[in-house]
């Protein structure tokens, strides 16, 4: 039934709404008529950030540089290796043991000396491995121009292969595969 005609002085009533078609809605949501939006964190309630100063940009460049990353990995490896070495020496029953006199109980000074030596040895090894891996990853990332999981796998293979190659070709191949797999697992877990 048609609506009754309105009187000459009355406002016209709005036309009845058209039924919404699903295909038209999809065109606007995922189709050709979709309007991409520029991502703005302030629109989502984020805190607007002021533009970065030259000092901030310089600090960011330094922190993203290969030498800084290598130094940071070296220091971190040294600390972690030292802690690991002291821990393993602490649970080792042969620390301070004298093979010439197996029945003698080691003194606290001898035990602490052995723990310190093992801690320093582990710390140096971890620092070298950390610096090698970080340098290699930074060089691979710079060469590829991408920051993804492949960088850590490639650099893990290079680092593990270089460490294992000192013991022969077979050890180098095993080191390459093992370190690459470990790097991939860590990268997968962290990302």
Instruction: Note the pLDDT tens digit of each residue in 94-109.
Output: 777 777 877 878 888 8
> In a 10 Å sphere around its CB, with 0-12 CB exposed, 13-18 middle and 19+ buried, how is residue 151 labelled?
buried
Q: How far is it, in rounded angstroms, from Cα 52 to Cα 48?
A: 12
Enumerate long-range contacts of 30-38, CB under 8 Å, 24 or more apart: none
Q: What is the Cα–Cα distance from 92 to 119, expressed in whole angstroms? A: 13
The predicted structure's pLDDT at residue 187: 86
**Cβ–Cβ under 8 Å, residues 138 and 159:** no
Q: What is the mean pLDDT of residues 167-176?
A: 93
pLDDT confidence of residue 5: 57
129: tokens are: 């491995």
Predicted model pTM: 0.65
């Amino acid at each position: 039934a048609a609506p009754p005609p309105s009187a000459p002085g009355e406002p016209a009533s709005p036309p009845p709404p058209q039924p919404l078609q699903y295909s038209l809605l999809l065109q606007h949501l995922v189709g050709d008529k979709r309007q991409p939006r520029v991502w703005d964190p302030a629109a989502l309630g984020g805190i607007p950030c002021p533009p970065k100063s030259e000092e901030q940009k310089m600090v960011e460049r330094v922190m993203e540089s290969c030498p800084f990353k290598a130094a940071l990995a070296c220091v971190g490896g040294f600390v972690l290796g030292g802690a690991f070495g002291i821990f393993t020496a602490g649970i080792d029953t042969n620390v301070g043991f004298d093979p010439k006199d197996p029945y003698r109980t080691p003194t606290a000074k001898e035990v602490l000396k052995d723990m310190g030596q093992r801690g320093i040895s582990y710390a140096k090894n971890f620092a070298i491995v950390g610096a090698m891996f970080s340098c290699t990853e930074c060089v691979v990332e710079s060469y590829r121009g991408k920051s993804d999981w492949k960088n850590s796998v490639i650099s893990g293979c290079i680092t593990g292969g270089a460490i294992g190659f000192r013991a022969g070709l077979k050890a180098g191949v095993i080191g390459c595969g093992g370190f690459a797999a470990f790097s991939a697992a860590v990268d997968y877990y962290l990302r």
